Amino acid sequence: MIKQEIRSKKLNQRLALSKNECDELSEKIGERFLSQVDLSSIRVLHIFLPIISRKEPDTRIIINGIKKDFPFIRISLPRVEGDQMVNFYLGKETRLEKNKWGIEEPVSGIPTSTEEIDLVVVPLLAFDREGNRLGYGKGFYDKFLNQCRRDCQKIGLSYFGPEDELIPTDTHDVPLNAVITPMQVYKFKS
């Protein structure tokens, strides 16, 4: 199956979920993330905010859990500028606005240096048993992950398990260290 066919299939599968199903699955993903990811050495965590219209997992559950239980971790949020993502620390003064895709982004704030980021929570539509991910095809996270430190952890979130077939990859694709689903954590060699 080619990338576009996989994207379409997985997006339709996700869009078929009810709001209640998404809420319940997001809660399970958040609980699994907070209980099974070793955050003891993480100082800066980059996390995406969900595209509600595309029924992405609700990462605000993870953000709220980190603020409560891991106050030493600084949270960084992305903002799209042109064909790149820039990152800003999330603070009490951070004001968020929706961009053209309906994603909340920080309007301003203290910039986050990519070198500071220890863990990136990555959006995806699909993944395989090798840790390859498939996003929406815009390349924002591919570019960003290639700028991150080699030891930066990359963890995806998905309502569903891995694809049976390997996802086609390109030279710029960066494999994930793990993907968290409502039922389990998939870990990969990276």
Domain ranges of the chain: 3-187
Task: Return the C-alpha torsion angle 68, 28, 162, 1, nearest 10.
Answer: -100
Alpha helices by DSSP H, listed for 37-170, are 60-69, 140-147
At how many degrees (to 10) do helices 60-69 and 19-36 cross? 30
Provide the whole-model pTM. Answer: 0.94
Q: What is the pLDDT of residues 3-32, one digit of tens each?
A: 999 999 999 999 999 999 999 999 999 999
CATH architecture of 3-187: 3-Layer(aba) Sandwich (3.40)
* Mean of per-residue pLDDT scores for the chain: 94
Q: In whole angstroms, give the CA distance from residue 68 to residue 39.
A: 13
At 1 the pLDDT is 65
Q: What is the pLDDT of residues 38-97, one digit of tens each?
A: 999 999 999 999 999 999 999 999 999 999 999 999 999 999 988 889 999 999 888 899
Residues in the chain: 190
Q: Taking residues 164-186, what's their average pLDDT?
A: 94
Residue 92 carries which side chain, given as an amino acid letter? K
- CA distances to 11, 125, 134, 171 from 5, rounded to whole Å, are 10, 11, 11, 20
At 68 the pLDDT is 97
